[in-house]
């Protein structure tokens, strides 16, 4: 056994208290999800240890909302995304989709369920089969699930292209004939082909140029409204996550360290890691000489995580207790959860006073530069 079996929580989990009143069942609920991979402590050493890629994440996603998941490389956000879709079955814990535990489904039931949850990956170059035309790529899901008559399928594919802002006459083209942004639109079209409820977007706009990224983000927002989609939006880009998410979860070393509504998180993060992450982000606009929090060192290896709070070796606020006791994700203010013994509740915000902000007068610049429309 790689680890002790994890008892399912019997008490009311804090996350449940975080659900909106009147929300019957959330579309997605994760209960203490863990994903451990076998790993070695050193090259050629035979003793195996559990690499805790995801280490006990609980959260829920409401219908129609966008939950952002942020964190740096190796924090487990992508693994969590794959666990949600059972592309990687979790080692322990439950993924409840529409109230149903995905682990209890038969293969046939799971196949049917998969129609309701889709994923969009970062790299549209490798996500599309280069030997298939766009039409073939988009109708594949219909063929697999035996939906519609063959003649109807191409019409459906044309409608999908139209929905994602591509020209329907390009249906016989191959992926290499499209630009990166257009290819990501094809991936999105494929994801919505089966009318899903949930889309997990794993760094879906990260490989795109700024101007193309804005176009694809707008497409995702428009489709969400039109089709009533729910998004789990995984990204390392804090700007993009703020723009698209209703709530945001911050991950560090396999754990959720903060979960909050977007506005509160960006205004005043509770966890020192979230604060450092936001502070490290380069601001738009000239240097003002303001100090930013620069964390020392790298993220520790999940093979050998630090004792107590995993963030304590890098934490500017750490105290003795942090090295010993692992903090639980707890509600510290309405709708605001953080896994920290000493959350930044009453401390004045570094963001407010010391940090420069993005310039916020671009709209006015239109007038000033004579570019007013």
Partner 1 sequence: MSEDVLSIRNLHTHFRTEDGVVKSVRGVDLDIGPGEVVGLVGESGSGKSVTAHSIMRLIPSSGRIVQGEILFEGEDLAHASVRQMQKVRGNRIAMIFQEPMTSLNPVLRIGEQVADVLRLHRGLSKAQALDEAKNLLGRVGIPDPQARLANFPHELSGGQRQRVMIATALACRPKLIIADEPTTALDVTIQAQILDLLIDLKHDVGCSVLLITHDLGVISETADRVAVMYAGQIVEFAEVAALFDEPLHPYTLGLMRSVPKLDEDLPEDRLLPVIGGVVPNLAELPDGCAFQTRCPHVQPRCRIEEPPLREARPAHKVRCWLHDA
Angstrom distance (rounded) from CA 339 to CA 329: 4
Sign of CA dihedral 110, 115, 119, 125: positive
Considering only 51, 67, 96, 240, the residue that binds partner 1 (CB under 8 A) is: 240
Binding mask 81-120 for partner 1 (x = CB under 8 A): ----------------------------------------
How buried is 170 (Cβ within 10 angstroms: 0-12 exposed, 13-18 middle, 19+ buried)?
middle
Q: Return the bridge partners of 31, or none.
A: 94
C-alpha torsion 268→274→280→281, nearest 10:
-70
C-alpha torsion 349→353→357→363, nearest 10:
110
* Residue 304 within binding range of partner 1, rule CB under 8 A: no
Q: How far is the CB of 263 from partner 1 (least distance, A)?
A: 8
Considering only 86, 145, 283, 318, the residue that binds partner 1 (CB under 8 A) is: 283
Q: In Å, what is the CA distance from 267 to each residue of 59, 241, 279, 353? A: 22, 14, 11, 12
Alpha helices in 115-174 (DSSP H): 124-127, 134-145, 150-163
Judged by CB, which is closer to partner 1: 144, or 263? 263
Angstrom distance (rounded) from CA 361 to CA 18: 36
Considering only 89, 228, 285, 348, the residue that binds partner 1 (CB under 8 A) is: 285
Angstrom distance (rounded) from CA 187 to CA 156: 15
Q: Return the bridge partners of 35, or none.
A: 54
Considering only 45, 131, 176, 287, the residue that binds partner 1 (CB under 8 A) is: 287
- Segment near partner 1 (CB under 8 A); pick from 123-131, 274-282, 316-324, 333-341: 274-282
Establish how many alpha carbons lie within 13 A of residue 146's alpha carbon, considering only the half-sphere containing its beta carbon.
2
Q: How far is the CB of 319 from partner 1 (least distance, A)?
A: 21
* Residue 221 within binding range of partner 1, rule CB under 8 A: yes
Angstrom distance (rounded) from CA 115 to CA 195: 7
- Segment near partner 1 (CB under 8 A); pick from 56-64, 167-175, 234-242, 319-327: 234-242
- Segment near partner 1 (CB under 8 A); pick from 146-154, 174-182, 196-204, 321-329: 174-182
Judged by CB, which is closer to partner 1: 28, or 244? 244
Judged by CB, which is closer to partner 1: 307, or 365? 365
* Residue 294 within binding range of partner 1, rule CB under 8 A: yes
Q: How far is the CB of 367 from partner 1 (least distance, A)?
A: 11
Binding mask 181-220 for partner 1 (x = CB under 8 A): x---------------------------xxxxxxx-xx--
Considering only 286, 320, 334, 353, the residue that binds partner 1 (CB under 8 A) is: 286
* Residue 131 within binding range of partner 1, rule CB under 8 A: no
Query: Which conformational region is residue 43 in: left (phi greater than 0), alpha (psi within -120 to 50 degrees), or beta?
Result: beta
Angstrom distance (rounded) from CA 196 to CA 117: 5
Judged by CB, which is closer to partner 1: 99, or 348? 348
* Residue 62 within binding range of partner 1, rule CB under 8 A: no
Angstrom distance (rounded) from CA 303 to CA 141: 38
* Residue 236 within binding range of partner 1, rule CB under 8 A: yes
* Residue 317 within binding range of partner 1, rule CB under 8 A: no
Q: Are the C-beta atoms of residues 356 and 289 closer than 8 Å to each other?
A: no
Residues that bind partner 1 (CB under 8 A): 72-73, 179-181, 209-215, 217-218, 221-222, 236, 238-240, 242-244, 266, 276-278, 280-287, 292, 294-295, 298-299, 357-360, 362, 365-366, 368-371, 373
């Amino acid at each position: 056994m790689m680890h002790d079996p994890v008892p399912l929580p019997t008490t009311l989990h804090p996350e449940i208290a975080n659900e909106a009143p009147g929300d019957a069942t959330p579309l997605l609920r994760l209960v203490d999800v863990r994903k451990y991979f076998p790993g070695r402590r050193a090259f050629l050493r035979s003793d195996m240890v559990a690499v805790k890629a995801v280490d006990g994440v609980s959260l829920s996603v409401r219908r129609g909302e966008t939950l952002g998941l942020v964190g740096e490389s190796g924090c487990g956000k992508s693994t969590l995304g794959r666990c949600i879709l059972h592309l990687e079955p979790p080692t322990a814990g439950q993924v409840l989709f529409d109230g149903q535990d995905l682990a209890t489904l038969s293969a046939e039931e799971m196949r049917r369920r998969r129609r309701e949850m889709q994923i969009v990956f970062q790299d549209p170059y490798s996500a599309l089969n280069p030997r298939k035309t766009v039409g073939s790529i988009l109708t594949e899901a219909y063929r697999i699930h035996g939906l519609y008559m063959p003649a109807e399928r191409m019409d459906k594919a044309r409608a999908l292209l139209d929905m994602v802002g591509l020209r329907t006459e390009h249906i016989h083209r191959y992926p290499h004939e499209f630009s990166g942004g257009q290819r990501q639109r094809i991936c999105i079209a494929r994801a919505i082909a089966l009318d899903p409820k949930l889309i997990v977007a794993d760094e879906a706009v990260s490989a795109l140029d700024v101007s193309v990224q804005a176009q694809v983000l707008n497409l995702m927002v428009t489709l969400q409204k039109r089709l009533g989609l729910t998004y789990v939006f995984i990204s390392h880009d804090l700007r993009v996550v703020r723009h698209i998410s209703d709530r945001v979860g911050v991950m560090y070393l396999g754990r959720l360290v903060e979960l909050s509504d977007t506005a509160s998180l960006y205004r005043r993060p509770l966890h020192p890691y979230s604060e450092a992450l936001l502070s490290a982000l380069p601001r738009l606009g000239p240097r003002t000489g303001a100090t930013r929090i620069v964390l020392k060192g790298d993220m520790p290896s999940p093979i050998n995580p630090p004792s107590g709070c995993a963030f304590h070796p890098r934490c500017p606020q750490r105290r003795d207790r942090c090295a010993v006791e692992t903090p639980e994700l707890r509600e510290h203010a309405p709708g605001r959860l953080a896994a920290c013994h000493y959350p930044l509740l009453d401390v004045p915000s570094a963001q407010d006073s010391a940090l420069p902000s993005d310039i916020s007068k671009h709209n006015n610049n239109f007038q000033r530069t004579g570019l007013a429309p």
